[in-house]
Amino acid sequence: MGKSESQMDIVEKSTKSGKKSWSFVTISLSVLLLLMTCAVVALYGTNSGSICTTPGCVTAAARILQNMDPTTEPCTDFYQYACGGWLNRHVIPETSSRYSIFDILRDELEIILKGVLEAPEQSDREAFRKAKTLYTSCMNESKSPPLLLQYFMEEKLSTLNSRFNKRVFIDMFVWNDDRDSSRHIIYIDQPSLGMPSRDYYFNDGNYQRVREAYLQFMITIAKMIREDKNMAKDDHFVQEEMAKVLKLETEIANATAPAEERHDVTLLYNKMTLRELQGKFALNVSEFNWTLFIQGIMSSVNVQIHLDEEVVVYGVPYLQELKAIISNYSASTIQNYLVWRLVIDRVSSLSRRFKDARANYRKALYGTTLEEARWRECVSYVNNNMENAVGALYVRETFAGESKRMVRDLIDKIREVFIETLDELQWMDETSKEKAREKKLANMLGFVFLQLNFNEHKYFENSLENLRAGAQKSLKKLRERVDQDIWIIGAAVVNAFYSPNRNQIVFPAGILQPPFFSKHQPQALNFGGIGMVIGHEITHGFDDNGRNFDKDGNMFDWWSNFSAMHFKDQSRCMVYQYGNYTWELAGGQNVSGISTLGENIADNGGVRQAYKAYLKWLEREGKEPKLPGLDLTHKQLFFLNFAQVWCGSYRPEYASQSIKTDVHSPLKYRVMGSLQNFEAFSDAFHCKKGTAMHPVEKCRVW
């Protein structure tokens, strides 16, 4: 299913409180009070300990006041205290499965991108012109052609991979070698599925409803394809054939290992030659030849493969089952499945009737009743496929150099605190601490092109061109050395990332905005916002996955037995803590403490490091002025802004999905879990031991 970097992202919700909501009048009076306060303070002067009345401070104070619910006791439910106002004021749009501060920032970013992509291009940079051409072709929705099924009906797996970047039955991709980060290698893994996770093929409740809608979606699309090809309409035949396809995919899903069983990358890694692969995992499909399969893919970039070529097999248990599965199905059912998996991914680039056919499936899966505006789909598509060009356009429009300098300074301060924190850890011996100090993470901040050719009137063809280019961009790296300076994501993204193979943290320009960061808001908010994100990504270098990689990005055990054993003990505490959180919106399911462990370690470490870095900043710079209308200390404001970054809500349908597929804990528990473990939070809000936010038992790794 490919390799991915750890990312900050969000995934979650919280049920609305029964507490009294803030009315429009109350909010208006609060903002008016802020303005009056500013006027009074401006008249009578200020000093270093007084109230800040700059526009940036007033804006930040108004945002914080609107988001919080001061009627809730912070030591009882800090998430409701911090986000209750936000939850009461925001209704999830009919186009969205979740709605959060992250999503609002992404919506605003897309508006900016819409403007730059629709503006006449005066620059002579070819990349900018191509991005705008691709956007224009996407907006020409009515001109999307019917599905050209005959174009790929008979294509083999290798062609699906190299031409359409689609990996069915077998996930073959090129990436950095986990054990030698300077070179690329071929990986063989279990594939992704048509539905979000294997749970949808077996579980009851909402998962069963999605499964039934999925089958109807398959049947409808199959009928439309037969109609386009002037084939006879035989509803019973189509239903039977698609039922076979779903049965095949269900067996594939059953053969894939659950996420919790794939948590330890050191156990997944199995290096062997193609000769050994052929001997261990022969498939009964026309005497399937692994070398020919991989050579068929690599020929698209003129790379020759030989029997002694080394590959890394991640999905050993799956490959052991695949032979028996394929043997049970006819060639026509397998072919129908290949076509279906390609079609489902291309629906967005086809005509309106294909999109309408998925409406019921989307409703069951996401709970949404409307699709996004076409321009938003197109902005997202262009950004995903030409991230460097779009990122450059975004940075040119919005990003200030002073912000970049300030955030880089924050990164240095928080990295310094992490190193200092090692001295506090009694569970880690000095030998392992010294190795951890050596693991200095590189950072990339702000922003970062393939030779693509687009026609503004042919969006479907353009999407195929992007699929081909995306596949070949990755495949051709097999014989190239790893370039550690290449960005792993574009700039126009509201997120942050850590790459263990590159030992690199990345902060795109899109996340450098309020409430995460502003050069005009108090540093307490910046440290609680982007500071926590920085600490989060740094800690990923030492979570249950990142700890397996050394300073050069190689998978190597640099831990002493003593430290490794105690790391697992400390981590086990968090597994139990988060595993005991019950998410009612997801049908009362418990959070997976195992699947979310890496993100929980990063959340806990991130908020600790950012807070300590802020205290050091206060020692050097002195006390900050207060925010108007808020009788809160800046230590309290730090924790409040940290929590408000995660304000958001989810539809039940999507909650059921994210609890099975997301490596992050639900939003509420990202806040509650981190702060319940942090004594400094309890001190700041004077929470008595034994209250909900100050439990006797606490967990700490970093």
Integer Cα distance of 414 and 540 in angstroms: 14
Please give the Cα distance from 242 to 341 (Å, whole number).
Answer: 12
Backbone angles phi, psi at 76, to 5 degrees: -95, -50
CA dist 319 and 188 (Å) reads 9
| Rg of the Cα atoms in the chain | 26
Q: Do 144 and 460 form a contact (C-beta atoms < 8 A)? A: yes
Place of tokens 């050395």: 481
Q: Which residue has the tokens 């009515």?
A: 142
DSSP character at residue 231? -
The residue type of 609 is Q
Q: Fill in the DSSP letter of residue 299.
A: G
Does residue 146 have a cis bond before it (omega within 30 degrees)?
no
How far is it, in rounded angstroms, from Cα 697 to Cα 683?
Answer: 16
CA distance 630 to 610: 22
Provide the 3-class DSSP secondary structure of residue 337: helix
- C-alpha span between 50 and 626 (Å, rounded): 6
End-to-end CA distance of the chain, in Å?
Answer: 30
Partner residues linked to 184 by β-bridges: 176
Q: Are strands 180-189 and 310-313 parallel, antiparallel or unpaired?
A: parallel
The number of helices, as runs of H, and strands, as runs of E, in the chain is: 28, 12
Handedness of CA 583, 213, 257, 251 (dihedral sign): positive
* Helix, strand, coil abundance in the chain, percent, nearest 5: 55, 10, 35
d(CA 148, CA 229): 9
What is the crossing angle of helices 359-366 and 206-228, to 10°?
160
Phi/psi-derived region of residue 230, left when phi > 0, alpha when psi is between -120 and 50, beta in every other case:
left
8 A C-beta contact, residue 398 and residue 112? yes
For 445, left (φ over 0), alpha (ψ -120 to 50), or beta? beta
Residue in this structure with the two tokens 């197109």, named with its chain if needed: 378
Q: Please, are residues 249 and 157 in contact by the beta-carbon 8 Å criterion?
A: no
Q: Where are the alpha helices (DSSP H) in 305-398?
A: 316-327, 331-346, 352-357, 359-366, 374-385, 387-398
- Positions marked active-site: 537, 603
Contacts of 95 by beta carbon, 8 Å cutoff, 6+ apart:
368, 370, 371, 372, 373
Pair 137, 402: CB distance under 8 Å:
no
646 and 100 in contact (C-beta within 8 Å)? yes
Q: Which residues contact 396 (CB under 8 A, 6 or more apart)?
A: 116
